[in-house]
Structure 1
Amino acid sequence: MRKIIRNGTIVTASDTYRADILIEEGRVAAIGKNLEHAGEDAEVIDAEGNYIFPGGVDPHTHLEMPFGGTVSKDDFETGTIAAAFGGTTTLIDFCLTDKGEPLKTAIDTWHAKSREKAVIDYSFHLMIGEINEEVLKQLPEVIDKEGITSFKVFMAYKNVFQADDETLFRTLVAAKDLGALVMVHAENGDVIEFLTEKALSEGNTDPIYHALTRPPELEGEATGRAATLTGLADSQLYVVHVSCAEAVDQIASARSKGLNVWGETCPQYLVLDQSYLERPNFEGAKYVWSPPLREKWNQEVLWNALKSGQLQTLGSDQCSFDFEGQKDLGKGDFTKIPNGGPIIEDRVSILFSEGVDKGRISLNQFVDIMSTRSAKLFGLYPKKGTIAVGSDADLVIFDPNAERILSADTHHMAADYNPFEGMKVKGEPVSVLSRGEFVVENKQFTGKTGMGKYIKRAKYGHQLEENGAFQSANS
């Protein structure tokens, strides 16, 4: 059925204006004032007093991910439902690979996890843990047939995920030729391993030592090393979950030299700090993820980097584990605490409340950071990430004046705690549409499992045509 959204204020990364939106066959069919004739037989949605944003694009999630002898709590059903309630309509998850196995094996595994479960649209990044001739032969098919145009290289988690510098450099070289974006988890895993073993040998086992053995200098060093290799390869790099000034400085330096280096931060680094890991009764384990939370003064550095454009996106790094039964696996040994937290639902509201409402970023910057820039970088634009005729009708009707308290009692994530427990936020999604269909309507879930579609993405520096074909663009 056709729909028309009336009386709302449309906000994109570049414009803010009042207009009506006509939706037909899952896409935006018209935008204008007084579309009465066009919408004669349409369902009318009154958005008076609300903003209308393009659906959020979360570029960084880990749903149903194996880690540390357990599996992250939210799967593609609960995770995408929570994302929708939070105003996200597209996410990109990570396929983890095993050395020696065909890359398609990992991709098929993630398709099996997500198929018939997701309630919003989704895509995949692919981990590269090794580079050899066999892997290089498989990459064109990964891009052309699967539409996976971003590769993740871990510089940390020694003996688990960590790749060496040769693997990173050869991945950057291949990505340049193939039109892919290389992502890095930038921490010096070798030094972290040494500091971790030292801490344990000295009897330092509490959650705070997770942060103390992963100091910000090691994030800065790895970020700079990755940026240097990117410049040498004349390639493109996206640094995930930037947490500290040291990493921001390296990204800013690389960009000042004209390198194609992009940076993402996460809501947890914008509002939480290292002291949370010191909470008594093992409560600090709730805040163990990597990179770790930093000293509080880093928060304003990150906000300023978002405002100035040195960081461009906000990912959730969603990787939830229950406090009881999962996080507590690390009692007596902080290295056994599963890394990650439930973040996906609160990403958009925290950025609006702490960013827009407190004057740190503009309303248009908010849209760019939470949606548009990720859609452009990861080959989803303009199908996703904007409100324009022909784009998917992924829309968020958002009440900027609603006030609420974030809590595990009211969130829709599967985990038994919320890291932002008790935090007051201003601004809340009221209704969320994915391709013109309600997933959330008046704060009630109305979607269906399986309604989310897998999206094949365009190459880096290209845009996605309406029919899904690839086309050159400078967006």
Structure 2
Amino acid sequence: MSDTASAVLIRGGTVVNADREQRADVLCVDGRIQAVGADLAAPPGATVVDAGGQYVMPGGIDPHTHMQLPFMGTVTADDFYTGTAAGLAGGTTSIIDFVIPDPQQPLMDAYRMWRGWAEKAAADYSFHVAITWWDESVRADMGTLVHEEGVNSFKHFMAYKNAIMADDETLVNSFRRALELGAMPTVHAENGELVFLLQQEMKAKGITGPEGHPLSRPPAVEAEAAQRAIAIADVLNVPIYVVHVSCAESAEAIARARARGQRVYGEVLAGHLVVDDSVYRHPDFAVAAAHVMSPPFRAREHQAALWRGLQAGHLHTTATDHCTFCAAQKAAGRLDFSKIPNGTGGIEERLAVIWDEGVNTGRLTPSEFVAVTSANAARLFNIYPRKGCVVEGADADLVVWDPAGTKTLSVATQHSKGDHNIFEGRTVTGIPTHTLSGGRLVYVQGDLRAEPGQGRYVKRPPFGPVFDALSRKAALQAPTAVARSA
């Protein structure tokens, strides 16, 4: 990593945080925000950025990416450098990626492997660690990850039967251990048994193309798993975070649980907010296959429900599940949709798409935009206000945003190494003009200045008093919980 950048003064903009807007300058020195206020003086040698008529916001935090992921017999096109560089070009300055151990692989072995891959990252990064199997060594490694490595969230795939799917026994053991440690369980909510069955049924009917993908993963399959995970978390009294909520039924399950007072949090992908399931019926296999991801894109009425969830506060974060496979890799499933590597891109486009479809339509205020693109993720994963906030002492991860700027999104101009863009041809109003990462200007009016290895690993401390209280409450309620689950 190179030496810390010199001072940068962002002058004349409107600073937007999740709680308020204010006209202010922002001075960044030694990688941190030194001051936020009116008419700040530029230190000698400082770079001055004119933000007149623009917003100055926390850099985006994408809490769900898969860089350099080995999956379904291949590896994603974007590694930790190219993926994070693309993010910087779009105003995203931090990611939380996933360590996914193979079944029976020690968690710490997988974690060390991912940490090695991530050393080339151009932006700051952290990790969720997936629990794909269970024994006492997994329980011990979870403790090491929390106490020594700064991991405070564990992922559970309820799908992908015969691969990385976690059964209910694993969920129960892992959720309880997470509560003990002050860590957040997260779930990919799809019923893997039903998906496997429906895949076989589709193929038996002769449906082998990409159109079979959404048919084998209908909303009810996602909703069942979400409700089951929420119920398990309720009995154990542990908070839970549901990733990539894609359908109205799952969003409603989260809303109902929250109305009962349960701590359930929901994430939605930029793609699920604007892309519908008609893409799977495209006559060109390559185009249809490029959209194969899980959960799949849904009918348009689900998009409206997801927006309502964001507006109502039942869904809390926006992400991308950035997981890029090229056409040659997707072709592995030309004769069998279940063999198409699952994944799409979007890390560069997320902020612009959500601003255009959220703020420009009146669905979100600028402050609400900051909440769902950075601040809420920082709070939920315990790195706020170091991240997700433009305030003195925070990391100088910032995006200068031109609300009048326009861009047509396209694979021809993206920085990702993927060869398809799910937002292809969409013209957005509201784009970044400058991105700062650790006080460095890494994107300046179309000029991407990302460098491998500039990103830092971000440790996320465990949650303290809230989890301690929940753990005590769980112990006191144990007899009731047993009776209720009988």
Q: What is the TM-score with the length of structure 1 in the denominator?
A: 0.95
Match status 1:5 vs 2:10: yes
Offset of residue 137 of structure 1: 1.5
Query: Which one of the candidate residues 413, 421, 426 is aligned to 2:416?
Result: 413
Query: Which one of the candidate residues 164, 187, 194 is aligned to 1:161?
Result: 164
Q: Which amino acid aligns with 1:266?
A: L
Instruction: Give 1:337-416 correspondences, 5 Å limit.
Output: 337-416=340-419
Q: Equivalents in 2 of 1:462, 1:238: separation in Å?
A: 19
Q: Equivalents in 2 of 1:144, 1:255: separation in Å?
A: 29
Q: Which amino acid aligns with 1:12?
A: N
Secondary structure of the residue aligned to 2:185 is strand
Q: Equivalents in 2 of 1:126, 1:45: separation in Å?
A: 38
Instruction: Give 1:37-436 correspondences, 5 Å limit.
Output: 39-115=43-119, 117-282=120-285, 283-323=287-327, 325-436=328-439
Q: Equivalents in 2 of 1:139, 1:281: separation in Å?
A: 45
The structure-2 alpha-carbon separation of the partners of 1:354 and 1:19, relative to structure 1 and needing over 3 Å to count, comes to same
The structure-2 alpha-carbon separation of the partners of 1:462 and 1:82, relative to structure 1 and needing over 3 Å to count, comes to farther
Greater alpha carbon shift after TM alignment, 353-362 vs 454-463: 454-463
RMSD across aligned positions (CA): 1.2
Q: Equivalents in 1 of 2:160, 2:142: separation in Å?
A: 24
Offset of residue 284 of structure 1: 1.0
Match status 1:22 vs 2:33: no
Secondary structure of the residue aligned to 2:114 is helix
- Residues 90-109 of structure 1: CA distance to partner in whole angstroms, max 9, x if unpaired? 00100011232221111111
| Contact 2:152 2:462 (8 Å CA) reproduced | yes
Q: Which amino acid aligns with 1:436?
A: G
Q: Equivalents in 2 of 1:152, 1:225: separation in Å?
A: 15
Stretches of structure 2 lacking an aligned partner (at least 5 in a row): 1-5, 467-486
Q: Which amino acid aligns with 2:293?
A: W
Q: Equivalents in 1 of 2:378, 2:236: separation in Å?
A: 24
Greater alpha carbon shift after TM alignment, 238-247 vs 42-51: 42-51
Secondary structure of the residue aligned to 1:49 is coil
Aligned residue pairs: how many?
Answer: 460
| Contact 2:8 2:27 (8 Å CA) reproduced | yes
Secondary structure of the residue aligned to 2:300 is coil
Offset of residue 3 of structure 1: 1.9
| Contact 1:56 1:87 (8 Å CA) reproduced | yes
Name the one with the larger helix percent: 2
Q: Equivalents in 2 of 1:462, 1:321: separation in Å?
A: 42
Q: Which amino acid aligns with 1:456?
A: K
Secondary structure of the residue aligned to 1:425 is strand
Matched-pair identity in %: 44
Q: Which amino acid aligns with 2:336?
A: D
- Residues 420-473 of structure 1: CA distance to partner in whole angstroms, max 9, x if unpaired? 11111111111100111111122201232111111111213689xxxxxxxxxx
Q: Equivalents in 2 of 1:3, 1:133: separation in Å?
A: 50
Q: Which amino acid aligns with 1:221?
A: E
Offset of residue 111 of structure 1: 1.1
Q: Equivalents in 1 of 2:82, 2:123: separation in Å?
A: 11
Q: Equivalents in 2 of 1:169, 1:262: separation in Å?
A: 18
The structure-2 alpha-carbon separation of the partners of 1:461 and 1:369, relative to structure 1 and needing over 3 Å to count, comes to farther
Q: Equivalents in 2 of 1:365, 1:54: separation in Å?
A: 12
Instruction: Give the corresponding residue for 1:469.
Output: none
Q: Which amino acid aligns with 1:84?
A: L
- Residues 391-433 of structure 1: CA distance to partner in whole angstroms, max 9, x if unpaired? 0010101111011111000010001111111111111111100
Q: Equivalents in 1 of 2:414, 2:406: separation in Å?
A: 15
Q: Equivalents in 2 of 1:281, 1:351: separation in Å?
A: 28
Q: Equivalents in 1 of 2:453, 2:298: separation in Å?
A: 38
Q: Which amino acid aligns with 2:372?
A: I
| Contact 1:22 1:39 (8 Å CA) reproduced | no
Query: Which one of the candidate residues 34, 39, 59 is aligned to 1:34?
Result: 39
Offset of residue 41 of structure 1: 4.7
Q: Which amino acid aligns with 1:4?
A: L
Greater alpha carbon shift after TM alignment, 259-268 vs 129-138: 129-138
Q: What is the TM-score with the length of structure 2 in the denominator?
A: 0.93
Q: Equivalents in 1 of 2:334, 2:450: separation in Å?
A: 39
Secondary structure of the residue aligned to 2:64 is strand
Greater alpha carbon shift after TM alignment, 429-438 vs 453-462: 453-462
- Residues 72-113 of structure 1: CA distance to partner in whole angstroms, max 9, x if unpaired? 111011101100001100001000112322211111110111
